[in-house]
Structure 1
């Protein structure tokens, strides 16, 4: 049967439409999110693609990789966090106790006496000099009123502690990015206690003193804390959310030797999370942890300075989000009045 020209045109148009539909289907695959997950996070599964094998080398320290995780929804995430470690414009904190650099003071007084005036970061020209003492497991970046005043010199291990000085006028807002580093990039875990995929834990404690050596701020439950990267998650039905609370306290934290199929939860950081004007009123309060829960009683980078961190009348507490094991990127904030 011979087709008329009009029939040929209709057939040709139909074939082109069918081909375009097929191409579109192939280029835009359907995003499949497991039905067991009901939260707001972007989900990734499995190991990240490592882009930096080791951010920092230290004798007897663990490698600190940086990776890229592609989520099921197509979003791209830097894990364990996007940090400013290699940005020279963001100042390093000074060493309080650092086995990697060999600078290891025995007391706060020794450390303060060794600091030079050019290590003071100016936030307000007519402000008071504040000295901050920080122990972070593993890494921190600190902003005061949106100004970078210091970052950790050691992303992962060995365990270290830091001292920072900045000039500022009250009131001022402290904002810190905290990162629990990972050996298994994208899976929040490391080789430990006989397991290849063992979830590490975090924790941060800080004390801020004025020029009269008086404590003007210390970490505790009056700080705000929000998590933005959680891993490893073995069962997607265990994470829950209640308002701004991102909860994983019922999730399994046991180690294993095969975590290649575990999931991770990612949330976008607000673009101005470090600014004084950022509204953190809806964020959860920081959760506090004891020294034994964090495991610092055998670490000289902490125990050499218990006169600061564990002051008899003004004891600073370790803080983190609601899960110090599974939450790997946490933002904490506090305003000093």
Structure 2
């Protein structure tokens, strides 16, 4: 169960303007299967376990300095062997993977400043297979028949604070029952407002990019 997910999230704290000021932020992030995160266009965190590691469901916690307001951009991926979107191809476990992402952010005083929820803007950039029947094929070939796929170019500046994500759809919130988070997920004390997000389809949406802006 692995998916490539790219996610950028924008959260707004208050309606007034905020003078740029640096703060120490601590992030907790769990993804199935892999993620990398940017703040104000700079990469600050990457899943330490390679996406090719089978059943990797670890969480990452890290602190970094960020100027406020800040834009958090996360790319998330579920594992897939190729563009068919399948894993364990050619074995009796051949199947579509499934994804999921959750994150929360606290300031140095321990106050919650941002979470993943339905306010995040997330663009699915890889969706496969186009037909779930692909998972049952004896010789699935990416791009052929049921194993077709759609791929969207990732904007070069998607992590930048000034990027316009208004046309991106809102993230879809999924329940813990649907995602079945495990392993590293259980090591984090998640705030009740932090929610598991992905595209509409946990199985066929393989790569997402999402954005959140904290402060305005």
TM bin (shorter chain):
0.7 to 0.9
Q: Show the counterpart of 1:256.
A: 136
Give the equivalent residue in structure 2 for 1:136.
31
2:47 counterpart residue number: 152
Higher mean alpha-carbon deviation, 196-205 vs 206-215, is at 196-205
Q: Distance in 2 between matches of 1:174 and 1:81?
A: 14
Report the TM-score, using the length of structure 2 for normalisation: 0.81
Tell me how far apart the structure 2 counterparts of residues 130 and 161 of structure 1 sit (CA, whole Å): 17
**TM-score, normalised to structure 1's length?**
0.53
Structure 2 CA distance, aligned partners of 1:172 and 1:126? 10
Cα deviation 1:63-83 (Å, max 9, x = unaligned) = x9xxxxxxxxxxxxxx9699x
> Which of 180, 196, 203 matches 1:318?
196
Q: Which residue of 1 aligns with 2:184?
A: 301
Question: Which protein has the bigger helix share?
Answer: 1
Contact 2:117 2:193 in 1 (8 A): no
Structure 1 residues 211 and 264 mapped into 2: Cα distance closer, same or farther (>3 Å)? same
**Quick check: which one's strand share is greater?**
2
| C-alpha deviation, 1:158, in angstroms | 2.5
Task: Answer whether contact 2:4 2:33 (CA < 8 A) is retained.
Answer: no
Match of 2:168 in 1: 283
Cα offsets for 1:34-76 (capped at 9, x unmatched):
xxxxxxxxxxxxxxxxxxxxxxxxxxxx9x9xxxxxxxxxxxx
After superposition, the C-alpha distances for 1:16-42 in whole angstroms (9 at most, x for unaligned) are: xxxxxxxxxxxxxxxxxxxxxxxxxxx
Say whether the 8 Å CA contact 1:203–1:318 is kept in structure 2.
Answer: yes
Q: CA deviation at 1:332?
A: 0.7
Contact 2:5 2:208 in 1 (8 A): no
Summarize the alignment of residues 108-123 of structure 1 with structure 2, pairs less than 5 Å apart.
none
CA offset digits 1:282-310 (Å, max 9, x no partner): 110000011111112xx2311122x2x2x
Distance 1:291 1:190, change over 3 A: same
Contact 1:189 1:232 in 2 (8 A): yes
Q: What are structure 2's unaligned runs of at least 5 residues? A: 7-19
Residue of structure 2 in register with 1:189 after alignment: 86
Residues in 2 aligned to 1:195 and 1:290: alpha-carbon distance in whole angstroms: 28
How many Å separate the matches in 2 of 1:254 and 1:131?
A: 41
* Count of residues in Structure 1 that have an aligned counterpart in Structure 2: 193
Q: CA deviation at 1:324?
A: 1.7
Task: Give the ranges of 4+ consecutive aligned residues of structure 1 lying more than 2 Å apart after TM superposition.
Answer: 79-82, 155-158, 194-197, 252-255, 257-261
Does the CA-based 8 Å contact 1:203-1:320 persist in structure 2? yes
Higher-RCO chain (CA-CA 8 Å, sequence separation at least 6)? 2
Q: Alpha-carbon deviation of 1:142? A: 0.6
Alignment of 1:84-99 (within 5 A): none
In 2, the alpha carbon distance for the partners of 1:270 and 1:321 equals 18
Distance in 1 (alpha carbons) for counterparts of 2:212 and 2:4: 23
